[in-house]
Amino acid sequence: MATLLRKIGLIRLHNRDTEDPKHHHNHRGGGGGQQSASLRGKGGAKSGGHKPQQQQHPAGGAGDASPGPGKGKGKRAAELAQRDKPPQPAAGAAGAASGGGPRERAAGARAGPGPAAAAAAAAAGGSLVPAARQQHCTQVRSRRLMKELQDIARLSDRFISVELVDESLFDWNVKLHQVDKDSVLWQDMKETNTEFILLNLTFPDNFPFSPPFMRVLSPRLENGYVLDGGAICMELLTPRGWSSAYTVEAVMRQFAASLVKGQCTVDV
């Protein structure tokens, strides 16, 4: 019986040793190493027996670093075309001149005008300022002279009368009908049957801020501040002596007084 029990114990010890994890691990590791070694051996044999093939590319192909004859000619033609291309205008000028779509016009507006466009705009602006000023001066002069004509037409003593030269509002022929009746000039006018003294008045662009040009047309007068050719020497008719408040009627009355004061006579 005791012998039987010892045999059973030995069988159990043997089974326990065979079922130990470490034992199984070592066994599996050894088998895997042999299997991997055999695989490496097979791979080495295959790699040793296989020769790598060199990749070959045809001349002038995509893989060749040096361009072929056809590609070199195409590149040279592109360089020549780029060199001969005319210079492009500035973005602002191109967008404004071409009148392209909304995107082109918007790009041109953001870029601003080119130098030529800016110079043209400056020149145009410089010419517009004098033109507007000229128009304003013409309007002021016209309104003033229309009022002067209306005032002269309402004179009760018929001291002077006005005729427009060639229907121009700025060129007048004025007839002076009366001077001091106690003067030598009045006596000469009676003796020579001279009914009036004819004068010409030309109004400049900046009238009434500048005096008119006035001269005697007929008859021929001597003394009385009237020079040869009919020019009149009066401080009132100079830029220094002139005032925009002077009217044509007031100027003519002052002239009539200067004729008497200077003892003017009619040259027969």
Question: What is the DSSP code string of 145-159?
Answer: HHHHHHHHHT-SS--
* 3-state secondary structure (DSSP) of residue 114: coil
Question: Do 203 and 212 contact (CB within 8 A), yes or no?
Answer: yes
CA 147/CA 10 separation, integer angstroms: 151
Both tokens of residue 91? 């973005």
Helices (H), the chain: 2-18, 21-49, 69-84, 91-98, 102-111, 115-153, 184-191, 248-261
Q: Which residues are catalytic?
A: 233
* 3-state secondary structure (DSSP) of residue 208: coil
